[in-house]
Amino acid sequence: MGIEEKLPAGVLLTSVEKLAGWARARSVWPATFGLACCAIEMMQTGGPRHDMARFGMEKTGSTPREADLMIVAGRVSQKMAPVLRQIYDQMPEPKWVISMGVCASSGGMFNNYAIVQGVDHIVPVDIYLPGCPPRPEMLLDAIFKLHDKILNMKLGAQRDAEITELEQARLNMLPLHVSAPADHAAAEFGSEL
């Protein structure tokens, strides 16, 4: 990528990370992938009351080539899925994805033939935002969490280490179950998590 790839881990790299994280987080340009009802709430988030422009996000990239963040707002139908993937591929690194709304996160209330049951089947998602549709304040909260993530993102060799660490944490995560017996859960979900 750039200078950060070549810097050895140390205080210099950490400073570059801080600077890059700060710069990236303060000017995230969304490639608004507004599809359905969540798109209306995303529009309202860009509206005067809950102003996304305060956070540097007003340049809603019409083109994915200039965008950092893809907010998948709305239900993704089977016909739209290849388009979604193509837009994601057209975005340059670094890029992040917020799946806004339950339909984007998991298929939502539409558990049927026509809707992809979660855009994480198609693109990797950084922040899942539930809601039907989520209020603009909720979308702003998701964006803040993403800003947090971007601010603290490591670069270069430290990034690889960070990714390995996160993957290990995921693999070791215990399944969320309340009352099912342990062996039942392991049989059902053991290999899926």
Partner 1 sequence: MTATHVTGAATDADAAEGRVYDVAGEDWDTIVGDEERSSAGERIVVNMGPQHPSTHGVLRLVLTLEGETVAEARASIGYLHTGIEKSMEYRTWTQGTTFITRADYLMPLFNEVAYCMSVERLLGIEDKLPERAKLIRVLLLEMNRISSHLGGLGPFGMELGATTIFLQGLRMRENVLDLFELITGLRMNHAFIRPGGVAQDVTKAHLEAIRGFLKKAPKWVKDLRTLIDANPVFVARTRGIAYLDLQGCMALGVTGPMLRATGLPWDLRKSQPYLDYETFEFNVPTADTCDAYGRYLVRMAEVEESLKIIEQCVDRLAARGDSGDDPFMIQDAKIGWPARLSLGPDGMGPSPEHIKHIMGQSMEGLIHHFKLVTEGFRVPAGQAYVPVESPKGEIGCHVVSDGGTRPYRAHLRDPSFHHMQAVAVLCEGGNLADVIPAIASIDPVIGGVDR
Partner 2 sequence: MSTPGQPPAEANGDGNLPAKLGEERLTAPVVRTGMFGIDGTSDTSGYGRLVVHKPLPQSSSRPYGGYFDAVADALGTALSADGAGLDDAIERVAVEHGELTFYVRRASLPAVAEKLLHDPALRFEVFSGVSGVHYPDEAGRELAAVYHLLSITHNRRVRLEVRAPDADPHIPSVTSTYPAANWHERETWDFFGIIFDGHPALTRIEMPDDWPGHPQRKDYPLGGIPVEYRGTKVPPPDERRSYYS
Judged by the rule CB under 8 A, the positions of this chain that interact with partner 1 are: 32-37, 39-41, 43-44, 46-49, 60, 62, 64, 74-75, 77-80, 83, 87, 109-115, 132-133, 135
**Closest distance between partner 2 and the C-beta of residue 183, in Å?**
12
144 binds, among partner 2, partner 1, none (CB under 5 to 8 A by kind): none
Contacting residue, 1, 12, 180, 187, with partner 2 by CB under 8 A: 180
The residues in 51-110 that bind partner 2, with binding defined as CB under 8 A, are 78-79, 106-107
| Closer to partner 1 by Cβ: residue 13 or 80 | 80
The residues in 126-145 that bind partner 2, with binding defined as CB under 8 A, are none
Q: What is the spatial distance between Cα 80 and Cα 20, in angstroms, rounded to a whole number? A: 34
Determine the residue type at 37.
Answer: C
Q: What is the spatial distance between Cα 140 and Cα 188, in angstroms, rounded to a whole number? A: 36
**Closest distance between partner 1 and the C-beta of residue 171, in Å?**
34
**Which residues share a beta bridge with 97?**
70
CA angle 160, 163, 164 (to 5 degrees): 90
Phi/psi at 72 (5° precision): -80, 100
41 binds, among partner 1, partner 2, none (CB under 5 to 8 A by kind): partner 1
Q: What is the spatial distance between Cα 184 and Cα 193, in angstroms, rounded to a whole number? A: 14
Residues 6+ apart with CB under 8 A from 8: 157
**Closest distance between partner 2 and the C-beta of residue 84, in Å?**
14
Q: What is the helix (H) or strand (E) element at residue 78, kind and residue range?
A: none
